[in-house]
Amino acid sequence: MKEITAIIRRDKVTETKQALVDIGYPSLTIQSVDGRGKQKGTMHTDMDSDNFITAVKLTPTPSTYALEHTLPKVALFVPKKMLTIVVPDDVVSTLVKAIIKVNQKGMYGDGKVFVSPIEGALRVRTGEKDGEAIT
């Protein structure tokens, strides 16, 4: 078993959920998260060839720590959604490809996908273990 954790743009959640349903894996957990990558929360606007703004990104939220303390520069975090799904080993590649297909725009902030091993699972209601507990 593997755990797939995908951190994606908030506007891509519905499309990503539908892609997972289409593959046959509708069960997942979604959390709202704030974070930043190499750009340290810097936001970018999309401009066309004539320098007209075609998309404006939302302003990131300053961290609570930054608001309560004096910092030389406000630490910015970008709101994202984190999807978590536990699946059998043989479908990991298929699900990761589907997540990437929906979310890849070729721009900063497209997200990250992590795959981690799961040692075991237990369904609380029935006591089912491992593979039976994740289906």
Q: What is the pLDDT of residue 36?
A: 80
Q: Of the candidates 17, 30, 134, which has an alpha carbon nearest to the alpha carbon of residue 86? A: 134
130 CB neighbour count, 10 Å cutoff: 14
Q: What is the pLDDT of residue 78?
A: 84
Average pLDDT over residues 120-129: 94
Average pLDDT over residues 98-127: 94
Q: Which pTM was predicted? A: 0.74
Q: Which domains does the chain have, with CATH numbers?
A: 2-134 (3.30.70.120)
Is the per-residue pLDDT at 53 higher than 50?
A: no
Alpha carbons 101 and 96: distance in angstroms, whole number? 9
pLDDT level of residue 61 (50, 70, 90 thresholds):
low
Pick the residue with more confidence: 24 or 76? 24
Average pLDDT over residues 113-125: 95
Alpha carbons 131 and 135: distance in angstroms, whole number? 7
Alpha carbons 57 and 21: distance in angstroms, whole number? 28
Average pLDDT over residues 98-103: 97
What is the H or E stretch that residue 133 is in?
Answer: helix 131-134
